[in-house]
Amino acid sequence: MKLTMKNLFLPIFFFSSLLVLTSCKRELDLYPSDSISEEKAFRNLDDIQKGTNGAYGLFSWKNVMYLNALLSDEVRIGPGNAGQGSFTFRFQYGADATTGEDVTSVFIDMYTMIDQVNRVLGAIEKIGFSEEEQNQVNRIKAQLLTLRAVGHFEVLKLYAKKYDAGEPLGVSYMLKSDLYAQQPRETVSRTLELIEADFNAAEALFNAAGAQTFSDTVINPVNLAGFRARVALYKHDWANAVKYAGDVIAANVKSLATGNSFKAIWTDAGTAETLFRIRYTNRPDIGELWTTQSGANIYFSPSNKLLYSYDFVNDIRFWSYFDYDNNGDFYINKFFESSRGGRVVDAKVMRIAEMYLIRAEANAQIGTNAALQLAADDLNLLRSKRIAGYTNEPFAGKDELLDAILFERFLELPFEGFRFDDIKRNGLSVERDEDDVDSPNWRTLPASNFRMVLPLPLRETQANKRTEQNFGYIKN
Amino acid sequence: MGTIVFCATSFGQSRTVEGRVIDESGAPVPGSSVRSATGNYGTAADFNGNFTIVVSTDVKKLLISAVGFLSEEIIIPASNRVTVVLKLSGTEMEQVVVTGYSKLRRSEFAGTSTKVLSDKIEHVPMGSFDQILQGRIPGMTVLSTSGQPGSEASITIRGVSSISSSSDPLFVIDGVPVESGIFQAINPNDIASVDVLRDAVATALYGSRGAAGVIVVTTKRGTGGKAKLTYNGQFGTTFRPKSGYDMMDAQELLLAQEAYGKMLPGTTADQLPGWFLSKNHPSYATSSPEVQARKDFLYDSLLNNNTNWDEMIFRDGSFRNHEISLSGGSGKTRFYSSLGYYNEEGIIHRSDMKRFSFRNNIDYNDDRLSFALSSLIGYTKRNFQETDESAVLGNPFLDVRITPSYISPYNPDGSFAVGNPAYYAAPNQLDFMTYNKVYNDQVKVLLGTNVLYNLTPEIYAGAQAGVDFRETQNTVFWPAESWYARSSSNVRVKSGGLSEGLTRRLGLNGRVFAGYKKKFGAHDLDLSVHGELNKRFQKSFGFTGYGLDPKTPNTPAAITPGDASNQLYVSTTGSKSSNALSSLFGIGKYSFRDKYSFNLSYRYDGSSSLPEKNRFQSFYAIGAGWDLLKEGFMPKPNWLDMLRLRASYGESANANNFSIGNFGYLSTYRQGTYSGLTTIIPNTPGNADANWEYTAVSNIGLDFALLKNRLYGDFNIYDKRTKGLYVEQQLSVIGGGAFESIESNAGRMRNRGVELSLNAVPVKTADLSWSLYFNGAINNNKVTDLGGVQSYEYGTSLVTVGLPLGSHWENGWAGVDAATGKPLYYTKDGKITDQAHVDDRVQTWGTSEPKYTGGFGSDLRYKGLSVSAFFTFIAETYKYNNLEYFMENTGFLSQGFNQAKNFKFWQKPGDQVNYQNPAYENVFSSKYIQDASFLRLRNIMVAYDLPSSWLEKTRVFSALRIYVTGQNLLCWTNWKGYDPEESSNYSLDSYPSSRVFTAGLSVTF
């Protein structure tokens, strides 16, 4: 009995041990059930679409609007301000998280969106799509590439010096998602090359995918041309700025609005002029940017400089963009009233009016007589839509016309995310009116001041050893 | 005497051996186990130490053992009558160290472990056995996180060894690793012993799980022989500790408000009734007589209220514990079965625990096979104060202090005087405790089986399987009539609600092993190999429903289905996750005449929580023991009985306490929404290089006994180094995208310390015995590396290289400027300033990690009467007193909260006070960092065992004991909160440990 037990038991024991141990290796292959692992996250077209939706959700235009207003002459400190945005408005910002929270936000927002884009683009490469899906895949890729280019462009505008083809410090260009990336900054011309490369690829993909109906909530060939016009204008490529802005206008999906249909743009009751919107379904992110939801506290008021620039009797923009409360304090009404209630409004990233202004500016820069005439026509057309009883104005030469166009941008596009950049790219200084500031210390920001270029977040220069901080700001 | 059932017919003739077991003083040793050296015969001595055992004639030797005594092996004399004298196991060297994988005699164990026997655990009126271990183990810090009945303790062995993960030790009950921190279902009176393993030899057995120490619990087993039925009943009262803050009565508070109002005219202070209604208020003189009369009336009615909120919210709770246990066995089988009912009411309304526990342990042994089955099924129900560990108004321990005494608890109609301003906190709380319910029901099942088969005298093999199952159902209920519902603006909350959450946790453990053991000559060798798999599954789901039908309120059936018009949609939550650990390991032991002993272990562990490239790692430990006195060349002085040197080194990790979670190494996504569309966005960054936090421990120890074993103990010195600590590594914005940082294995930490355990038995006679015991430890913790950075903010503290974890980071408080009443602070350079600037924060305020811990006590017995007292202490631990921030702060006075009596703020130039001019804001500073050292009379017990001569006459009882115990009766501390034991860096007004007084009766039939 002893022997049989021994003979039997040992083999059985070691066999079962072996069995247990080999199966144990498998036992360790567990996967999360409550979150989606990388392989499962993107498996088909539907997932890719969801990832792309995520990229739109991360495209935060809000801080672009906020910074362009606070850093310029569009606003002054409101009566209900308890310190909001004061470091920014007073030009006292640095790279640290306390004083630089506002000014570093667009950098963080845009690279977060770019990372999402790169994750989805990376996933697309790993999925085999059917023939029927290919057009839709191409459209999605085109959207993502456009978002990537636009994201980098927004960073370039704020975090690099005013455009100069020879400027060495552009921005880091991310072409793939890499958690531990130590990406150096490209030169400005290289950054712009990469932006154009993404635009070209997007355009080719849209062309390959064939015709599509226009929607102002996604990237499509029309607003892609609009973004290209912006970039062309930025890099003094006047011919292309005229071409792309002209393409958008010629596409005829939106036209300059008047009367109630213009007013309806700002309450989301209508979308007469919008070419691209970031939607908010239930959060008052945009509606609360300048004033609390109840209207009780005005953080930032429209500047007197701006208010007094309008013909408030005849210019429809005045009472569309501004209003005053029970105390007689003016507040920014653009993006405040909502047809949906609760200050829930969309961010208007691009409107047709801007395209007219881009084309006018680029034509004015070209400066031939024919071009100047085209520029004057565009400007007069826009004004005629805005100002009751407007009669076309003649312009004496290029400089006067350029000044008029810049001023018109001031009147047409306030709080939409352009003003600081308009000042900067024209090599001007920020000049506020005396009664728009409580101290002369922050009345002007000279064009030569280092704060014209915003700081990279401190945590970026701390974590990314290969990047370079902008002049004047701390690195670590 | 009992009948001995035996089944040894196949071994031929049998003989009956009678005997008596006594100690060196001649006193009987009741309950001693008497077993045959071969075959499997066993019985237990009766109350007088007498036994009768029937064994086969082949049996030549008997083994006699008893708790606290050295085991004896005797040769059965021809007369078949023996008297066995057991020696007190003074040195504890003959104790068996239970590691969970093996049992070793202490003399062949080279590791560091301490055993706590049941006599120190039984009858201590605490619901969770881990709390009972406070002060019992050198180097183990046990702090009560909360005094809620049944709450777990916070346990740290030899200092914290992780920054972002917990440093909870691994708990093993009857060989089965169990979930730490949830012991409410386990009846402490079922525990026979607890072994706390602290150094590498002991913990590396557990490889990737042992770094924070291992606590091995062994439950009671059957004694064999005639079944003994024991009933134990215990009754008592729980009552609250004293608070260090005496609060102002109505008059004092109204006057303080007046003084405050006078200083800040034209501010919100005008709304404080003490000022607003005061005759000295400037508006009083100009008011009409009617208004003046009205103000006087209101003022007087406030004065008259003078509510004592302590009396309203606290209570004296009752304590009851009943148990029936049955222990016995016949032949080869022994059993232990116990049924327990525990009911403890906390010191505050609506907090209690009820437990029903049912344990059955069965053992079978024959000459080849041993089999053990351990099982527990426990059900507990606990009512909670769920917000006791946060400084919010829902915390009753804060509310009783801050609610003004001039508020009445009741409205004229008898309902609670609830209200919206925060100073109605206490009536709101009373309403909350009356109407709302927060409780959990828990079912816990622990099952462990162990089979060992000796193939030959040398070769053995076996298997073990264990189940740790828990299902907890959390219920939160509030009816529509509650203030909680009424004060809400949410239509769903207003309608009354019921929230049920169910969590199920299942831990499975399986192990197979085979080994070789051999004694040849003076050599003793034991080698074994093991394969083990641990799996854990967790699943939870819950719902919250609204619109409860008042006719059947506290049931899911009362929920109103949601629709678009009533908006009462039910919300649901849920999650599930799992992890697994698979291991292959070997354990070796070799000893030579108990003079030299070596312990070795090597373990190869794989964890599902790590990426494939780091998944399998090896751990090892080596230890050696050397009994110096057994060495021929060593002089052996008379007074010295034993001197043994131990040294060990080894590595382990913390797989049970992963801060990155089960899948922290994976990059994951989740669903979100944008503009009403579904999105897929990143959820976790996924550290593809994730690894364990490795801890290496070196230990040198000395075991000693002297003066005829009347003085004995052990001393250990250790150096515990942890590397690969998870620290937050900042990510580039460009690369990290949505993630600012990632947890990466980059930090290092060191704990160094010494531990001493000392026992003395000055008197030991048949009638009188007296023993004293002490243990203490010093631990120094230091962060030595954070992966390149000098320090980083972690929660509210700053982790800094070169300092202990938990080092406070605060501006220095420099007092109040007598001229202006401005608060003054020290700058970084020691200058005085009136600004508390963040750059001037320093870390010279000590740490919350205690440096000195320990306990001491004494047991005295005279005949049947025994008295024992046990003290615990912790010293050099500094905590942030958040309660004081509320108690002595003009900011809170201005909000209408009650303040401590000793709160005298600056009022006029020249005032030498420690509380500033109310015009200046109170900010956190070193002023609130206080010493939380304490010395506590943890437990005191007086018991009387009725003389056996009396009991024999009854012919019913074999033992009868009556006893009284007092728990936490006294506490000496400078800490001013309720309880210095709060386990975090900050005191957040946790539920303090109760004081408990009980009386009990234990009868054995």
**pLDDT on residue B649:** 95
Helices A221-234 and A188-209: crossing angle in degrees, nearest 10, is 160
Domain ranges, residue B41: 9-86
Cβ contact B679–A53 (<8 Å): yes
Residue B754 to residues B205, B722, B751, B774, B860: CA-CA distances in angstroms? 22, 18, 10, 14, 29
Where would I find the beta strands (DSSP E) of B547-569?
none
A172 with B734: Cβ contact below 8 A: yes
Contact A116 B579 (CB under 8 A): no
> Which among B1003, B831, B840, B851 is positioned nearest to B933, based on CA atoms?
B851
A54-65 pLDDT, tens digit each: 999 999 999 999
More confident residue, B390 or B301: B301
Alpha helices in B446-565 (DSSP H): 483-486, 491-494
How many domains, in total, are found in chain B?
1
Instruction: Report the CATH number that the domain containing residue B17 is assigned in CATH.
Output: 2.60.40.10
Predicted confidence (pLDDT) per residue in A385-430, tens digit: 999 999 999 998 999 999 999 999 999 999 999 999 999 999 999 9
CATH of A40-74+86-189+429-476, picked from 2.60.40.3620, 3.30.420.40, 1.25.40.390, 1.10.10.60, is 1.25.40.390
Q: Is residue B17 part of a domain?
A: yes
> Which tens digit of pLDDT belongs to each residue from B673-726?
998 899 999 998 888 899 989 999 999 999 998 888 889 999 999 999 999 998
What pLDDT was estimated at residue B983? 67
B512 interaction partners in chain A (CB closer than 8 Å): 13, 16-17, 20
Q: Which chain B residues have a beta carbon less than 8 Å from that of A2?
A: 456
pTM: 0.85
Work out the number of other CB atoms within 10 angstroms of the CB of residue A476.
Answer: 10
pLDDT tens digits for range B57-66: 777 888 887 7
Question: CB distance A28–B736 less than 8 Å?
Answer: no
Provide the pLDDT confidence category of residue A17 given band limits of 50, 70 and 90.
low
* Cβ contact A57–B453 (<8 Å): no
Check A32 against B577: CB less than 8 A apart: yes
Three-state DSSP state, B152: coil
Please report the pLDDT score of residue B838 as a whole number.
Answer: 79
Region B410-432: mean pLDDT is 86
Q: What is the mean pLDDT of residues B287-308?
A: 90
Q: Would you say residue B6 has pLDDT above 70?
A: no
Higher pLDDT, B490 or A314: A314
pLDDT at B207: 78
Q: Do A37 and B668 touch (CB under 8 A)?
A: yes
Q: A89 near A467, Cβ under 8 Å?
A: no
Q: How far apart are CA B714 and CA B105, in angstroms?
A: 16
Lowest mean pLDDT among A318-332, A444-458, B625-639: B625-639
> What backbone torsions phi and psi does residue B625 show, to the nearest 5 degrees?
-125, 145
Residue with tokens 């409580």: A438
* Confidence bin at A298 (pLDDT 50/70/90): very high
Strands (E), A223-374: 274-278, 300-302, 322-324, 330-332, 347-351
Of B580, B497, B507, B428, which Cα lies nearest the Cα of B179? Answer: B507
Mutation to test the B interface, candidates A4, A10, A53, A144, most B Cβ within 10 Å: A53
Question: Which residues of chain B lie closer than 8 angstroms to A217, CB-CB?
Answer: 675
- Name which of B533, B662, B734 is nearest A464 (Cβ-Cβ): B734
Q: Which of B670, B676, B740 sits opposite A459 (nearest CB)?
A: B740
Q: What is the pLDDT of residue A8?
A: 59
- Partner residue opposite A35 with nearest CB, options B668, B674, B734: B668
d(CA B519, CA B536): 39
Nearest CA in chain A to B578: A30
In a domain, B44, yes or no: yes
pLDDT value of position B968: 92
The set of residues, in sequence order, having a beta carbon less than 8 Å from that of B670 and lying 6+ positions away, is: A35, A36, B680, B681, B682, B683
| Residues B307 and B408: beta-carbon distance below 8 Å | yes
Contact B671 A115 (CB under 8 A): no
Q: If you search the block for the tokens 């202006």, which residue do you land on?
A: B820
Measured distance CA(B757)–CA(B136) in Å, rounded: 10
Q: How far is B465 from chain A (nearest CA, A)?
A: 13
Residue B195 near residue B168 (C-beta atoms within 8 A): no
| Max mean pLDDT range (A112-126, B217-231, B923-937) | A112-126
What band does B765 get if pLDDT is binned at 50, 70 and 90?
confident
CA distance B453 to chain A (A): 10
Mutate to test the interface with A, among B680, B692, B727 (most CBs of A within 10 A): B680
Q: Which positions in chain A touch B690 (Cβ < 8 Å)? A: none
How far is A411 from A320, CA to CA, in rounded Å? 12
Place of tokens 């279902």: B185
C-alpha distance from residue B215 to each of B21, B155, B157, B166, B168 (Å): 32, 10, 10, 15, 10
CATH of domain A213-217+253-415: 1.25.40.390
In chain A, CATH 1.25.40.390 covers 40-74+86-189+429-476, 213-217+253-415
- Contact by Cβ (8 Å): B699, A75: no
Confidence of residue B520 (pLDDT cuts 50, 70, 90): confident
pLDDT of the residue at B361: 94
Contact A181 B608 (CB under 8 A): no
pLDDT digits (tens, 9 = 90+) for A194-209: 999 999 999 999 999 9
Question: What single DSSP character describes residue B691?
Answer: -
pLDDT digits (tens, 9 = 90+) for B190-242: 998 899 999 888 887 887 888 889 999 999 988 777 888 999 999 999 998 88
Range of lowest pLDDT (A129-143, A240-254, B71-85, B874-888)? B71-85
Check residue B110 and give its pLDDT.
86
Output the pLDDT for position B93: 47
Q: What is the pLDDT of residue B225?
A: 74
Tell me which chain B residues have a C-beta less than 8 angstroms from the C-beta of A28. 580-582, 606-608, 615
Sign of the torsion formed by the C-alpha atoms of B829, B830, B831 and B834: positive
Give the per-residue pLDDT at B3. Answer: 34
Q: How far is the C-alpha of B96 from the C-alpha of A412, rounded, in Å?
A: 87
Q: Measured between CB atoms, which of B535, B584, B733 is closest to A108?
A: B733
- Please say if the pLDDT value at position B331 is more than 80: no
- Chain B CA closest to residue A464: B732
What is the average per-residue pLDDT within A170-184?
A: 94
Q: Chain B partners of A29 at a C-beta cutoff of 8 Å?
A: 608
Nearest CA in chain A to B677: A53
Q: Quick one: pLDDT at residue B457?
A: 85
Considering only CB atoms, A35 lies closest to which of B533, B670, B678, namely B670
Averaged pLDDT of chain B: 87
Instruction: Determine contact, residues A459/A97, Cβ cutoff 8 Å.
Output: yes
pLDDT at B422 over 80: no
Measured CA distances, B485 to B344, B491, B617, B875 (Å): 29, 9, 54, 45
